[in-house]
Amino acid sequence: MTNDSETTTSRPDSRPGRVAFVTGGAQGIGAAISARLARDCSAVVVGDLNEAGADATSTALREKYGVESFGVGLEVTSSEPVRRAAAETVRAYGRVDVLVNNGPGDRLRARRRQAQADRRAGRGRHPGPHRHRRPRGRSRAHRGYRCRRPAECSGSEAGLAATLASVRSRGTVAQVGLHVRPAVIDAMDLSNRDITLTGTWCYPVQDWPRIIALLATGQLPSEKVVSDVIDAADVVQLGFERLVRPGTDVQKILVRT
């Protein structure tokens, strides 16, 4: 019989040798994803713009889960840091099996808005008739380091392009990030490489005002929706694991940050 701590730190033997890479993995959702992958993989590489934070998270993974892990400084909006991080991972472990792109969509959107403002003001080069060309993404950065089932979590066009470029032939990309505008993809590339792109519609934006009004008037008691409130440090054990447990009656869990 094992106690709870032993259950938390053990890793199943059904997926030996898998190598995972998480961008934006130093804190928040990215750190929680890294911790969950540490239970199923033999190595987890934590990439983040905050290199010290990535190192701290990787140290915590090694100590708690006994998994191989290291942190890398990573700016996902630039191809060279991505290329270096991918090469370093391949040198250390030989491959990448799982890629979670949890990159900073807000900064990418801010840059795009600034570029659009510059074009309107005549300060930038307008793409003209080629405005619908395939997004550049990160295909060069990921060439040779493709994985089988990456997930796109940033909700940005550049993030989606990078994730599609990173998947192997006949692989599957899970789109879970929420996009605020249409994203252009290279549909022919999906056909050529037999790629499956699947997504989930989480919450329609128009639902939120109605839900807030129902909560404010008491027509929707919050205790029927929110099952628990936990600290960010407990997001894996008391959050994700409770939500995915078969037969669970947990609806929603709020996380203090």
Number of domains the chain is built from: 2
Residues 139 and 230 in one domain: no
Of 185, 202, 219, the last residue of a domain is 202
The more confident residue out of 257 and 163 is: 163
The residue among 164, 181, 202 that closes a domain is 202
Q: pLDDT tier at 55 (50, 70, 90 boundaries)?
A: very high
Q: Are residues 213 and 195 in the same domain?
A: no
Residue burial 174-208, b: 16+ Cβ < 10 Å; e: rest: bbbbebeeebebbeeeeeeeebebeeeeeeeeeee
Mean of the pLDDT values across residues 188-201?
88
In a shared domain, residues 118 and 19 = yes
Residue 106 has pLDDT above 60, yes or no: no
What are 204's strand-pairing partners?
none
74 and 177 together in one domain: yes
pLDDT at 108: 55
Beta carbons within 10 angstroms of residue 221's beta carbon: 10
- Based on its alpha-carbon atoms, the radius of gyration of the chain, rounded to whole angstroms, reads 20
Q: What is the pLDDT of residues 134-173, one digit of tens each?
A: 444 444 434 445 778 888 887 888 888 888 988 888 889 9
**239-248 pLDDT, tens per residue?**
888 887 878 8
Residues 143 and 80 in one domain: yes
What confidence tier does 132 reach under pLDDT thresholds 50, 70, 90? very low
pTM score over 0.75: no
CATH code of the domain containing 137? 3.40.50.720
Residue 103 structural domain: 4-202
